Amino acid sequence: MAEQNGFEPLIIGFTCNWCSYRAADLAGTSRQKYPPNVRLVRLMCSGRLDPTFVLKAFEGGADAVMVTGCHPGECHYLEQNMKTLRRFSLMRRTLAQFGIEPERLKLVWASAAEGVRLAREIGNFVEEVRALGPLDWPSVIRTNGDGAHKAPPIIDVAPAEAGEEVPA
């Protein structure tokens, strides 16, 4: 796939300071490889993730967003990662209404000891996004939003069959 179209997904990854960032760190120190497509941003907690950040990432041209944090029950701030999980659930449904495949938003729990697992999840996600293809939100706005205000031709609609009743 990648060889065919040369598409390299751009993924913004959010990590929490206490678990998943350290997992990424551990992946590095233990020489685990993961693709460079994901750009990690460290937050103090996944609960710090304002859903606005996710939209900002898409608006800026990201193909996908990965949110990572401590496993439920292991949050450094008691249960802020539960809020992350709730937001994630609702965001996926909201994104779908905007025509963004929910799969472009992924949530991964990784403890500080799970460097190998995090690296594997990143690798898998890059391939999943590669299969989805580019999102390219800037072009969605360019072609349909600010630019191109010359309206396309009116759609051509076949007349309804004669006798087809329209409910009154």
Partner 1 sequence: MSENGKEQGAPVTAGNGKHKLAMYWAASCGGCEISVLNIGKHILDVDSAFDIVFLPCVADFKYDDVRGYDDGYIDVCLFNGAIRNSENEEMAHLLRQKSKVLVAFGSCAYEGCIPALSNLTSREATLRAVYLDNPSTENPEGVLPQESTAMPEGELHIPAFYETVRSLDQVVDVDYTIPGCPPEPHQIWAVLEVVVDALSNGTELPPAGSILGAGTVALCEECTRTKDVKKIERFYRPHELAPDPDICLMEQGLLCMGPATRAGCGALCPSVGMGCRGCYGPLDGVEDQGMRMLAAIASVLDVGDAHTEEHELERQINEVMATIPDPAGTFYRFSMAHSILRRAKVEG
Binding residues for partner 1 (CB under 8 A) = 50-52, 54-56, 58-59, 71-73, 75, 79, 81-87, 89-91, 93-94, 97-100, 109, 135, 137, 140-141, 144-146, 148-152, 154-155, 157-160, 162, 164, 166-168
| Least separation in angstroms between CB 36 and partner 1 | 26
82 vs 116, beta carbon nearer partner 1: 82
Q: How far is the CB of 100 from partner 1 (least distance, A)?
A: 6
Q: CB-wise, 83 or 117, nearer to partner 1?
A: 83
Q: Which CB atom, from 28 or from 90, has the smaller least distance to partner 1?
A: 90
Instruction: Give CA separation, 37 vs 61, 63, 65, 130, 158, in Å.
Output: 13, 10, 11, 10, 47
Q: How far is the CB of 28 from partner 1 (least distance, A)?
A: 25
Query: What is 77-93 written as a DSSP string?
Result: TBSHHHHHHHHHHHHHH
Query: In whole angstroms, what is the distance from residue 87 CA to residue 50 CA?
Result: 9
From the list 53, 39, 15, 4, the residue with the least C-alpha distance to 126 is: 39
Cβ-based nearer residue to partner 1, 3 or 146? 146
Residue 114 has phi, psi (to 5 degrees) of -100, 50
Q: How far is the CB of 12 from partner 1 (least distance, A)?
A: 14
d(CA 13, CA 108): 10
